[in-house]
Amino acid sequence: MTDMAIGKILVADDHAITRRGLLSMVREIFGEVEVAEAGDSQAVVENVSQGDWGLILLDMMMPGGMDILEVLGRIRDVNAGVPILVITAEGEVSFAVRSIKAGANGLINKHLPPDELVRAIEMVAQGGTYLHADVAAAIARGIREDSEPLPHERLSERELEILKRLAMGRAVKEVAADLAISDKTVATYIARIRQKTGLANAVEMARYAMQHDLVN
């Protein structure tokens, strides 16, 4: 357990089991610190506006109608200085640069060993920046590649998730149910996807996704 004093901690993840694991880890690091939980992006924004936070652990993908970049922007609108560690799943490294630019202080894959997650939490809580070696390598590759981004690389994390689901043959209502958002919100995302990628319909999206290994 560290001797570092820290304010209230917000643990945000839509899976209760994951939240409990993170809460246990936080208390092992900081002792009996005040902790709050959030299970969707709307709850994150509401909590941040109501408290003085010392650290936010933020899952990359949560329901609630906002993607990670929107959530980070909303947090920074009301609290410019709170340390934020974004916790990702596999396949989301491409959003590392945009997450850091949007206000995250660190980004870690949730499948890494617990000791590495502890190190990331401590580093970010102390005001540092944490990037795992794999993420840093991905950023370096992106810097070296002097080329225009592919169409799907222009999409937000939520837009890309919807593109993948449509490419796998999911209907609008099914996508809405999967992500706990409305049909209207899905339709709005689809319009953005079409505008950013030039893909006119689900058939073109499926073909594109297969060509670029976005779906199995």
User: How do residues 148-180 score in pLDDT, each as one tens digit?
Assistant: 678 888 888 888 989 999 999 999 999 999 888
Mean pLDDT for the stretch of residues 75-91: 84
Q: Is the pLDDT of residue 139 over 80?
A: no
For residue 202, pLDDT over 70 is answered with yes
Contact 215, 182 (CB under 8 A): no
Residue 182 has pLDDT above 70, yes or no: yes
Cβ neighbours of 40 (radius 10 Å): 19
The predicted model scores a pTM of: 0.65
Coil, strand, or helix at residue 9?
strand
pLDDT of residue 167: 92
Sequence spans of domains, the chain: 8-142, 151-211
Pick the CATH number of 151-211 from 1.10.10.10, 3.50.50.60, 1.10.3720.10, 3.40.140.10: 1.10.10.10
The pLDDT confidence band at residue 147, using thresholds 50, 70 and 90, is: low
Same fold, 8-142 and 151-211: no
Instruction: Give me the pLDDT at residue 187, please.
Output: 92
Q: What is the mean pLDDT of residues 69-86?
A: 89
8-142: in CATH 3.40.50.2300: yes
4, pLDDT greater than 80: no
For residues 17 and 26, is the Cβ–Cβ distance under 8 A? no
- If you write DSSP's letter for every residue of 112-126 in order, what string do you get? S-HHHHHHHHHHHHT
SS (H, E, C) 29-77: HHCCCCEEEECCHHHHHHHHCCCCEEEEEEECCCCCCCCHHHHHHHHHH
User: Helix %, strand %, coil % for the chain, to 5?
Assistant: 55, 10, 35
- Give the span between the Cα atoms of 103 and 72, in whole angstroms: 6
What's the pLDDT at 177? 92
Query: How large is the angle between the packed helices 68-78 and 41-48, nearest 10 degrees?
Result: 10
